[in-house]
Amino acid sequence: MRKSILIFILKVGVIVFCVLRILIAQVPNNTNKVLNLNNKESKKMKRTDSEWKRILTSAEYHILREKGTERAFTGEYDGHFEEGTYVCSGCGNKIFDSETKYRSGCGWPAFYNALPGSVEETEDSSFGMKRIEITCSKCEGHLGHVFNDGPEPTGLRYCINSVSMDFESEKNSQK
Ligand SMILES: [Zn+2]
């Protein structure tokens, strides 16, 4: 009788031990997953509306945060062809290389490609048009739209508001 109770206790002990080991082994995995998620999320810049209002000029706020559009042929970078990098005016994220900029004649700065991972595309059906909206992948600021009538090698035309961008000259960055 005592022997069978001992064996029973031993068996329960082994099961509890195994369950504990499995649980302990899973804890670090779960922690890693949570950390990865946090890393991904922390790459995005989250600001409140009042913070954006404080940081941005009224024109930047209107275009980046309210998805506005500057008037055609009025933007600072429409006819600008220096060598360098265009960055998001909301957060400094590098979005376009001057090498991909070209004269589209559309009235806004145009590029045939964006820097990898720098922008996100969303379907936009405002104003009764079907367009693809381009936003900054870091701060989600509105940049412009992308169309399928661009030059080779991509055939794309990224039509971007000058106000949504700042320019970093190649000359300055090499100093
Ligand atoms: Zn941005």
* Torsion of Cα atoms, 106 then 150 then 171 then 119, to 10°: 100
Mean pLDDT, to the nearest integer, of 82-109? 97
Q: Would 26 be classed as within a structural domain?
A: no
Assess contact for 129 and 104: CB atoms under 8 A. no
Q: Would 30 be classed as within a structural domain?
A: no
Mean pLDDT, to the nearest integer, of 117-121? 98
46-70 burial code (b ≥16 CB/10 A, e <16): ebeeeebeeebeeebbbbbbebebb
Active site residues: 159
What's the pLDDT at 124? 96
- For the whole model, what pTM was predicted? 0.75
Q: Would 29 be classed as within a structural domain?
A: no
What's the pLDDT at 77? 98
- Reply yes or no on whether the pLDDT at 43 is more than 80: no
11-23 burial code (b ≥16 CB/10 A, e <16): eeeeeeeeeeeee
Average per-residue pLDDT in the chain? 87
Q: Would 101 be classed as within a structural domain?
A: yes
Q: Would 128 be classed as within a structural domain?
A: yes
Share of the chain above pLDDT 90, in %: 70
CATH number at residue 51: 2.170.150.20
Whole-number Å distance, alpha carbon 7 to ligand 1 midpoint, is 66
Whole-number Å distance, alpha carbon 94 to ligand 1 midpoint, is 8
Q: Would 28 be classed as within a structural domain?
A: no
Give the total number of structural domains in the chain: 1
What's the pLDDT at 58? 97
Whole-number Å distance, alpha carbon 53 to ligand 1 midpoint, is 15
What's the pLDDT at 103? 97
Q: Would 89 be classed as within a structural domain?
A: yes
Cβ-Cβ contacts under 8 Å for 133 (sequence gap 6 or more): 67, 121, 122, 123, 124, 142, 144, 145
What's the token pair of residue 144? 């412009």
| Residue that wins the pLDDT comparison between 30 and 150 | 150
Whole-number Å distance, alpha carbon 95 to ligand 1 midpoint, is 9
Mean pLDDT, to the nearest integer, of 71-98? 97
Whole-number Å distance, alpha carbon 104 to ligand 1 midpoint, is 24
Assess contact for 157 and 135: CB atoms under 8 A. no
Band (pLDDT 50/70/90 cuts) for residue 6 is confident
Band (pLDDT 50/70/90 cuts) for residue 40 is low
- Each residue's pLDDT tens digit, 122-143: 999 999 999 999 999 999 999 9
What's the token pair of residue 74? 């009025």
Q: Would 59 be classed as within a structural domain?
A: yes
- Reply yes or no on whether the pLDDT at 94 is more than 70: yes
